[in-house]
Structure formats: C-alpha cells, structure tokens
Structure 1
C-alpha cells in the first residue's frame, strides 16, 4: 500500500471544483430524466447549505442528523457539516419514531434534516423529548401546511437566512476550515442494534481518509488503477450505511468518480441498464433481482442467445 496522508472531505471538494469545475460530479434522475450536477455546482450547493446550517446555529462539534433517501442534498448536508466542523449523523428512512427518539437523544443532535412529510412527522413527534434538538429542516414541503411550529423550517428558507449571514460574514467557512485537524470527529454511524441499543461509531477525518485510500487507491480494494474519474457509480443503498458513504461520498470525492442517484429502489435494475456502472456495491437482494431479470430475458431469448447464456454460467 502506498503512503497515506490525511485529507478532509471539504478540502477535496474544493480541489475538484477548482481544477474541474465543469466536469460532471453527480447525476440525479427526476421524472425519468437525468440531470447533471458539475463539481462547481456541487461546491456552490454545499456552501449554500453550510451557511444555512450556520445561520441556524450549527458550529464545530454540533451534531446534524439527516433522515432521507439518497439524493444530492444528502451529500450537500454531509459536506456542509464538514465545512463547519460539525458531525453528520445519518438515519435510515425506515427508522420508526421510537428509534428516531433514541438516536436523536443519544447523538445529541442540534438539528435534523427530514426529507418529507413522513420524516417530519417522526421528528415532530419526538422534538419535545430531545433536549438538544432545536430545528427540523425539511426538503419537501408537500403535506406540511397544517404544521405551525417555529422550529420547523424549509431548506429554502434556511438557505435564505444563510445568504444573509454570508453577506455579513463571507470569510466564515475559510476561518472554520483553517482550524481543522486529523482528529476532528466527522460522522457518527450507528450500529444495527441487534444485540442491544444502537451505538454510534465515531469516525474522524483521519479514519475516513485512511479507509477511503485503502479501498480506492491504485493498489487498493478495486485493484490496479483503483477508482478513477472514468468510473461510474449508482447510489441506492442507504447513505446512513458506512459502505455506501465510503463509495458515494468519500470515494467519489477522492477519485472524482461520477455518482448517479437512482430514481427509487424500485427502478434500480432499470437505472443500472441506463447508466452502465463500472463500480456496483450491492447486497444479496439486489444481486437476486438482477439474476431474476436476466433469467426472464433469457427465457424469451433466441436459442442461440440461450445457448450462449448457459455456456457463460
């Protein structure tokens, strides 16, 4: 293994946005159409999110929770927290209210980013039980008209507050980032809790850069050449899981890999066919769905194709 050095997530984002601002970093599928997000866009959106969080009082060592499906905003929140030396805590979208209450209390989250009405409902049900929780920031406003709570705010409204802060203190992020150290706590990743209450694994900047280098470097887990700018990844496993974060957020930053966000877990197989990923991280259920899809197609294929398929097995 080649010599490894600590690098910070926001530092790598700035480097990529400076050297290749117009290259595609992320692609998101909405309503059947893929939308490109360049490295320049990625940085701009992350900085806006960082100022939004700062305007809501988030600073170094504060915990920022997020409960959402995979989408670019997940990455913006992750790296925005990193810019502020705050700690991102990812929750599974399927976590029920009882688990959300425990995770928010245990992590000491100051703010939670909730994707939509389903996640907002959970957070609103427990906010009075979590002493540290001050804000619920939602990404999707649909179904929230009946709520009238000053602690609930849309991301757009938070970004507007952040723009005011940025106008009055344009050097805030550079001052905070200049104080970063390899020992900075970057994220809490909770265990499944199968043998007891979930426990938050504490990962520092040093932990993340080392682990990412190990699997993505030229002589790392992916073999000679490692992950490169030419690689294509589809993100669909929960970003609250360390494996998906390692590939989507951290590996994507380190190697400028293009990350695609599937429209939904139901469309993953079809999206894979469109995207043609060169790197695929999957759990057994996904491999089973792919195998079933291939088997169905082969059942209706010509005799020559069926023969070629049997020979290849």
Structure 2
C-alpha cells in the first residue's frame, strides 16, 4: 500500500508533520499585520494546512492536480501550497504583480485546476481572463 505523500519525511508536508510533533508550540512563522507581529506555532501551521487540504479534497483536488496561488508572501498562501502538496498535487505560485496576460499564460500552460487569490485585485485579474481559460 502506498503511503500518503504527507507521511513522507522528505516532503514539505512531511517536514511540517514532523515539526508539529516535535516542536508543537514553538513559533513556526510570523507576519506583520497592521503593524503588529502575529506568530503561528507549528501545530497551528499543521492545522491550517490540514483544513485547507480537506477543503481542496472536497473540491475534487487530487494527486497530480495543480493549484496556483497569487498574492503577497503570506502564511495563508504557503499553507495552500503545502496543502496541495500533501494531497500529491503541484503548487504553481504566481507573482502578485503579474499582469492578466502573464497570469493567463501561466494558468493555461500549467493546467491549473484551482487558484487561490489573496485579494480582490487578484480575483479581478482572473475574472478578466475567464473567457480565455
């Protein structure tokens, strides 16, 4: 029987599981939000990734599928990428300053099935491309 991708310690999801078990309440990542530093523990990181992976799976995302993320470098976008990898998928990050034409090219050529956008600006770019994708 094949092990789930997330159980393999040589993957990012595997490292996350190991760190959550061994480092639990220690800080995994920090971000500044409205001038205040916010910290997340390894367990919180694991839990966020798990919930996103469950949501992606409920949407039909499976091994080999591609998930694109577009936005600033924020923890929630990292979580989405690791969630995709935990399901055996491939993360396709896109620069948030990409123009719609560049974004469309990447999404089309990478055969992205799900896109996670940080904000309305990114959603508007995708909406403008809807007919082309």
Give your verdict on TM over 0.5.
yes
Is the CA contact 2:19–2:42 (under 8 Å) kept in the aligned structure 1?
yes
1:50 to 50, 53, 62: 53
Match of 1:74 in 2: 77
Q: CA deviation at 1:126?
A: 1.1
Cα distance in 1 for residues equivalent to 2:114 and 2:131: 13
Cα distance in 1 for residues equivalent to 2:78 and 2:117: 14
Partner deviation per Cα, 1:86-132 (whole Å, 9 max, x = no partner): 000010011101111111110000011111111000111112322xx
Task: Point out which structure has higher relative CO (alpha carbons under 8 A, 6+ apart).
Answer: 2
Cα distance in 2 for residues equivalent to 1:55 and 1:119: 23
Is the CA contact 2:66–2:90 (under 8 Å) kept in the aligned structure 1?
yes
Cα distance in 2 for residues equivalent to 1:27 and 1:115: 17
Is the CA contact 2:77–2:118 (under 8 Å) kept in the aligned structure 1?
no
Match of 1:116 in 2: 119
Match of 2:86 in 1: 83
Do residues 11 (structure 1) and 14 (structure 2) align? yes
Q: CA deviation at 1:74?
A: 1.4
Cα distance in 2 for residues equivalent to 1:113 and 1:47: 16
Q: 1:1-313 counterparts in 2 under 5 A?
A: 7-130=10-133
Cα distance in 2 for residues equivalent to 1:45 and 1:112: 17
Listed as ranges, the gaps of 5+ residues in structure 2 are 1-8
Name the TM-score, length of structure 2 as normaliser: 0.90
Listed as ranges, the gaps of 5+ residues in structure 1 are 1-5, 131-313
Partner deviation per Cα, 1:129-165 (whole Å, 9 max, x = no partner): 22xxxxxxxxxxxxxxxxxxxxxxxxxxxxxxxxxxx
Bigger Rg, structure 1 or 2? 1
SS of alignment partner, residue 69 of structure 1? coil
Cα distance in 1 for residues equivalent to 2:131 and 2:114: 13
Q: Over aligned residue pairs, what C-alpha RMSD do you find?
A: 1.0
* Runs (4+) off by over 2 Å: none
SS of alignment partner, residue 113 of structure 2? strand
SS of alignment partner, residue 131 of structure 2? helix
Q: CA deviation at 1:75?
A: 1.1
